[in-house]
Amino acid sequence: MHKNHHVLNKNEIASLGASLRKIEQKLLKQGDGQGKTRIWLQGAEPYFDIFFEFKNDEIIWFQFTLRGKSLSWDSKTKGWQTGITNELKSDDITLYPASKIIDNDNIIDWEFINLAKSILQTRAEEATFAKALALFN
C-alpha cells in the first residue's frame, strides 16, 4: 500500500519547489509554427516534472507529475484532470521518460491538486508559475 503522497510538510514542499530546473529547450519539440512554446521543468526527485505549453504568452496546457500522480489542465476544457502515471511500475517501457502513460482518475483528486498548487506557490514570484497559479482560481 502506498503511503499518502499528498501529505508533505512545508519543508518538503519548499524543497520540491526549489529543485525545479528548466530542461534545455532543444530537447522539446518546439511549437507548430502557430506561436506555441513549451517549457519543461524537472525536479530533483525522479518523476517530478512540470510541462507548460504557451500560445501568445498564455498557458494552453499544463501538466504536473509527482510520485506516480498526475495533474493536467487544458484550455479547451478549462478543467482539471488528475490521474496515475505508469512511472512507479517497473517494466522496460517505463525506463524511457518519453513513454509516460497516464490513467485519468474517475474522481478528481483535490488533495493532489492542492499539493501541486502549494509547490507552485513556492515559486509564485516567477511569471510562469504565477500564470499557472492563476489557473487554480
In a domain, 1, yes or no: no
Judge whether residue 92 has pLDDT over 70: no
Judge whether residue 100 has pLDDT over 60: yes
Q: DSSP string covering 33-80, please?
A: SSSEEEEEEE-SSTT-EEEEEEETTEEEEEEEEETTEEEEEETTT--E
In a domain, 46, yes or no: yes
In a domain, 76, yes or no: yes
pLDDT value at residue 93: 52
pLDDT value at residue 3: 44
Question: How many domains does the structure of the chain reveal?
Answer: 1
Q: How far, in whole angstroms, is CA 54 from its chain's centroid?
A: 14
Query: Could you list the residue range(s) of the whole structural domain that residue 109 is in?
Result: 10-134
pLDDT value at residue 96: 54
pLDDT digits (tens, 9 = 90+) for 26-67: 645 555 557 788 899 999 998 899 999 999 889 999 999 999
CA 21 to CA 7: how far, in whole Å? 23
Dihedral, CA of residue 19, residue 25, residue 38 and residue 62, to nearest 10:
-20
In a domain, 114, yes or no: yes
Q: Give phi and psi for 71, each to the nearest 5.
A: -135, 130
In a domain, 71, yes or no: yes
Q: Considering only residues 118 and 5, tell me which one the structure prediction assigns the higher pLDDT.
A: 118
Q: Considering only residues 24 and 1, tell me which one the structure prediction assigns the higher pLDDT.
A: 24
